[in-house]
């Protein structure tokens, strides 16, 4: 056995491989995120990698305590804790890596865990604030919308919450609702839905918004793909958000992981444990959520054309959206044309090129630093971010940029008062490089990995 070193936490594994082991498929996965370089961040790295189960149990409390973390590192630590791709750092089994061959690496024996939700109360018994007080005079926000194939109306603009630390997520959502945002994009795996739920309910109580004006999205995580777990996955999000229903519930990725309490389950060799669950079976369970009125609409995220075709053939209720990475460097032109024929709306996430993602490299191109985008921004008197957001809206794509900074939340929202010219739109179209910033390439051996196909 040898201790994990800094290189073990690098972004991309250079030697991916696959091994079959009983019921599950095993994938090599070393996690995301750059290795901290300064001394103070080094303290955080030591904190995040527990040596014992006892230490592991203290991580969550320690990360959110300002007294126990260096001030300059608080932002980094809380961000890492809440990102999907840092689940590796939370695992108590990553202290060491075996030098055995793949065949010798036995899958860790799993303790039997209860399928009970963290929130044991039924959704119907949770204190919900669906309507503001009677004396409220709620200001109605004006916003362009798109009609979904099932008849519901979706705002063209919303706030993304991926990577928003718990401490900042509540404040960000509160401020966004005050500004006029009416669509909030959430997910169980972001680990901040409770904070988002508090912000939504407090905003309703304070007469800022009515529940009927909100469009709340959440997503089914990969560990809930087994049909009998889909309901509990949705109920957990409803419980955390303190809502009686969702406007849209999405299958987050076509790739399933072994069911359990870990967001990303690992075997003894540090490899992600996938499941053989077919997403078509998951979809059938998603349809039951609509019948139970737990969500109004259902959709997909990160699915390619062939995967959508498979869903389409078996679906009683067709997907209304496919939420995918989309920005000037990855404009998804072919996928959008296909989705349009099917009557499926393309929802653009990471419209600014995900500049705050933890695995960003200094040498890679950055969307917001592109000279042509900067020129268009200068000519229109706008910011590069506003240009990228407006680009998606004019293409008919609802867009969900993420921010926790009040000034940027306001700036990103101010995109309705200007238009890009046809020539400017063509210039932005030609910037396409097929460059994907959220590839999850470590999981490229998964049988349902979506990005091997052209679109």
Contacts of 391 (CB under 8 A, 6+ apart): 328, 351, 420, 425, 428
Burial (Cβ within 10 Å: 0-12, 13-18, ≥19) of residue 55: middle
Told to judge if 257 belongs to the known catalytic residues of this protein, a careful annotator would answer: no
Pairing label, strands 321-325, 345-349: parallel
Other CB atoms within 10 Å distance of the CB of residue 190: 24
Q: Which of 24, 181, 190, 257 is catalytic?
A: 190
- Residue carrying structure tokens 């260096």: 70
What whole-number distance in Å separates Cα of residue 253 and Cα of residue 113? 24
3-state secondary structure of 123: helix
- Residue carrying structure tokens 């959430």: 186
Strand blocks (E) in 158-200: 159-160, 183-185
Per the document, the length of the chain is 455
Evaluate whether 252 touches 221 at the Cβ level (below 8 Å). yes
Active site positions, annotated: 190
């Amino acid at each position: 056995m040898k201790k994990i070193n800094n290189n073990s936490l690098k972004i991309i594994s250079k030697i991916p491989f696959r091994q079959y082991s009983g019921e599950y498929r095993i994938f090599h996965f070393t996690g995301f995120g750059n290795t901290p370089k300064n001394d103070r961040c080094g303290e955080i790295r030591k904190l995040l990698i527990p040596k014992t189960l006892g230490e592991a149990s203290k991580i969550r409390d320690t990360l959110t305590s300002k007294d126990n973390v260096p001030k300059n590192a608080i932002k980094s630590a809380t961000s890492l804790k809440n990102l999907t791709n840092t689940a590796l750092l939370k695992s108590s089994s990553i202290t060491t890596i075996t030098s055995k061959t793949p065949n010798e690496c036995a899958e860790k024996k799993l303790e039997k865990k209860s399928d009970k939700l963290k929130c044991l109360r039924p959704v119907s018994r949770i204190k919900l604030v669906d309507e503001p007080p009677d004396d409220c005079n709620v200001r109605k926000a004006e916003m362009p919308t798109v009609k979904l194939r099932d008849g519901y109306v979706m705002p063209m603009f919303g706030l993304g919450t991926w990577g928003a630390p718990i401490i900042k997520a509540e404040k960000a959502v509160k401020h966004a609702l005050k500004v006029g945002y009416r669509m909030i994009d959430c997910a169980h795996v972001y680990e901040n839905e409770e904070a988002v739920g508090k912000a939504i309910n407090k905003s309703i109580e304070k007469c800022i918004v009515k529940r009927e004006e909100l469009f709340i999205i959440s997503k089914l995580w990969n560990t809930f793909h087994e049909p009998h777990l889909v309901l509990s996955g949705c109920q957990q999000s409803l419980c955390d958000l303190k809502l009686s229903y969702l406007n849209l519930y999405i299958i987050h990725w076509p790739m399933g992981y072994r069911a359990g309490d870990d967001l990303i389950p690992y075997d003894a060799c540090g490899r992600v444990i996938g499941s053989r669950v077919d997403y078509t079976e998951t979809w059938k369970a998603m349809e039951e959520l609509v019948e139970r009125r737990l969500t109004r609409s259902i959709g997909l995220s990160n699915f390619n054309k062939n995967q959508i075709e498979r869903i389409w053939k078996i679906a009683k209720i067709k997907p209304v959206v496919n939420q995918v990475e989309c920005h000037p460097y990855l404009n998804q032109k072919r996928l959008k044309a296909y989705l349009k024929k099917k009557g499926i709306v393309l929802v653009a996430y990471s419209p600014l090129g995900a500049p705050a993602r933890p695995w960003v490299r200094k040498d890679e191109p950055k969307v917001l630093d592109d000279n042509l985008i900067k020129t268009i921004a200068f000519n229109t008197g706008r910011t590069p971010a506003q240009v990228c957001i407006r680009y998606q809206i004019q293409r008919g794509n609802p867009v969900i940029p993420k921010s926790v900074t009040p000034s940027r939340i306001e700036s990103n929202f101010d995109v309705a008062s200007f238009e890009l010219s046809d020539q400017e739109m063509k210039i932005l179209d030609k910037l396409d490089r097929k460059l994907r910033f959220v590839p999850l390439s470590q999981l490229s051996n998964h049988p349902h990995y979506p990005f091997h196909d052209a679109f």
